[in-house]
Structure 1
Amino acid sequence: MHRETPMHPEPHAPRRAPAHPRGDVGRRVAARRHELGLSREDLALRAGSAPGYIQYLEEQPATPGVAFLLRLADALETTVPALTGAAAGPPPAELLRTVELDPAACWALLDTHGVGRIARQTPDGPVVLPVNYLVTDGRVAFRSTTPTSSGTADADLAFEADHIDETSGQGWSVLLVGPVHDVTDPAAVERLAARADGGPWTGGEGSHWTLLAPQRVTGRRILLAEP
């Protein structure tokens, strides 16, 4: 989707922008804008931004920085807690419901994020580590400073990613389980590195890439119950 260049630098948005469920902040911004009878152009002018960024914010799961949220709240004649949902507090547990996700929905959610967790057994017991990841051809690729499979081909591993809105109580979680192997082909490593955004989440060079080919894909979403 084409976006106009903002008048002022805005926070980095999520890595990809296909049609995914919009974020909580964007939903509240759109609702408040409609209450005031403002167009996106009107709001952009008030906030010193661009209509294209306002559209992106309302339609994608973006998370603006505090400085822009302050300008946005002022432009919408409201407060930052109101836009982020902190003023409302979480809904009662009885108003929430859990929905099981099919594999297609799981992959769509994974494609909106870039940080997950891997869980594996070690000689000292199970460990859970955060990793940057990307989705490629029905597999998850992530990199680290040392080989993940420890030289053992097809070692089983679990990968999890999630998003929780603590103010609304809603969110989702996806779990992948399957064999992994280290990527050793230089051309394949180069292709993955070209698609990556920055270095490993934990720092370092991160020259070792691992591919997880899941045999099991499960997920769930927590939503507000229908009235």
Structure 2
Amino acid sequence: MAEHRPPGRLPQGDLGRRIEQRRRELGLTVEELAFRAAMAPAYIEHLEKHSTAAPEAGTLLRLAGALRTSATELGGGHVDLPSGLGQAARTPRFSELGEEECRRLLSTHGVGRIAVSTDGAPVVVPVNYSVIDDAIVFRTQTGTVSLQGLDREVAFEVDRLDDALSQGWSVVVHGTAEQVTDPDAVRRLAERAYSAPWAGGERDVWVRIGMSALTGRRIDTW
């Protein structure tokens, strides 16, 4: 994926990236995070922007608490492990999501999983997607598994899990997968898509999944 960085932005290390990402997920400004963690805003900016920053263990714990996550998550300790390692919360609450909330959670882009029926067996593969003109769109290449779902009903799932709080959500889209071939439509998708595919390579086949049905669920705590 091509990285989008504002002009003049310094390169970041893993810790800085995770602090900034988690802060943005919670909708916090640098100043708000600094207040929560009882730190100077300039220090938060320093951590986010400098790859050599190495806060003490106590500082990292305070940051993790302010960001409602764990020090291990901020440090990338679970990067090669599946989500959902935490224990169930003491007072979990399960709820169904309405269509409007599902659309909000899908947002404008992310990584999701397309489920298709192949000749051998059902297959699920991840793709990074964008939401354009009320449809899921992604780019792939000839011969990939995801193209076996063309002109069929497929499912597309997006989720987010918070291991530190043992909560999360999942949204499932049902619709027909169609290849986009019109040159003008392809150009518009290329202009509006968030980024190039993470997998790299020549991926010039555009697939569109209309949202004929949306369902979602959330687990949080009382």
Q: TM-score, normalised by structure 1?
A: 0.68
- How far, CA to CA, are the matches of 2:28 and 2:149 in structure 1? 45
- How far, CA to CA, are the matches of 1:123 and 1:34 in structure 2? 54
Contact 1:8 1:48 in 2 (8 A): no
Percent of aligned pairs with the same residue? 35
5 Å-filtered alignment, 1:111-130, equals: 111=107, 113-130=109-126
Query: Match for residue 217 of structure 2?
Result: 220
Asked if residue 78 in structure 1 is aligned to residue 76 in structure 2, the reply is no
Task: Write out per-residue CA displacement over residues 39-63 of structure 1, whole angstroms, 9 at most, x where no aligned residue.
Answer: xxx412x3454xxxx9xxxxxxxxx
5 Å-filtered alignment, 1:141-152, equals: 141-146=137-142, 148-150=146-148
Taking a change above 3 Å as real, the CA distance of residues 99 and 23 of structure 1, as seen in their structure-2 partners, is same
Query: Match for residue 187 of structure 1?
Result: 184
**3-state SS of paired residue (1:167):** coil
Contact 1:100 1:219 in 2 (8 A): yes
Asked if residue 33 in structure 1 is aligned to residue 35 in structure 2, the reply is yes
- How far, CA to CA, are the matches of 1:189 and 1:210 in structure 2? 10
CA deviation after TM superposition for structure 1 residue 25, in Å: 9.8
Amino acid paired to 2:114? I
Q: How many residues align?
A: 194
- How far, CA to CA, are the matches of 1:149 and 1:7 in structure 2? 38
Taking a change above 3 Å as real, the CA distance of residues 157 and 81 of structure 1, as seen in their structure-2 partners, is farther
The partner residue of 1:208 within 195, 205, 208 is 205
Amino acid paired to 2:41? L
Taking a change above 3 Å as real, the CA distance of residues 205 and 35 of structure 1, as seen in their structure-2 partners, is closer
Query: Match for residue 41 of structure 2?
Result: 43
**3-state SS of paired residue (2:160):** strand
Contact 2:141 2:202 in 1 (8 A): yes
Task: Write out per-residue CA displacement over residues 131-157 of structure 1, whole angstroms, 9 at most, x where no aligned residue.
Answer: 11111122111111127455953x111
Contact 1:174 1:218 in 2 (8 A): yes
Task: Write out per-residue CA displacement over residues 103-158 of structure 1, whole angstroms, 9 at most, x where no aligned residue.
Answer: 111111111541110000111111111111111122111111127455953x1110
Amino acid paired to 1:217? L
Return 5+ residue gaps in structure 1 as ranges: 15-20, 55-63
Query: 80-89 vs 160-169, which deviates more?
Result: 80-89
Indicate the RMSD between aligned Cα atoms, in angstroms.
Answer: 3.8
Contact 1:7 1:48 in 2 (8 A): no
Return 5+ residue gaps in structure 2 as ranges: 1-5, 73-84
- How far, CA to CA, are the matches of 1:180 and 1:167 in structure 2? 35
Contact 1:115 1:201 in 2 (8 A): no
Query: Match for residue 175 of structure 2?
Result: 178
Amino acid paired to 1:43? P
The partner residue of 1:95 within 82, 87, 91 is 91
- How far, CA to CA, are the matches of 1:80 and 1:48 in structure 2? 17
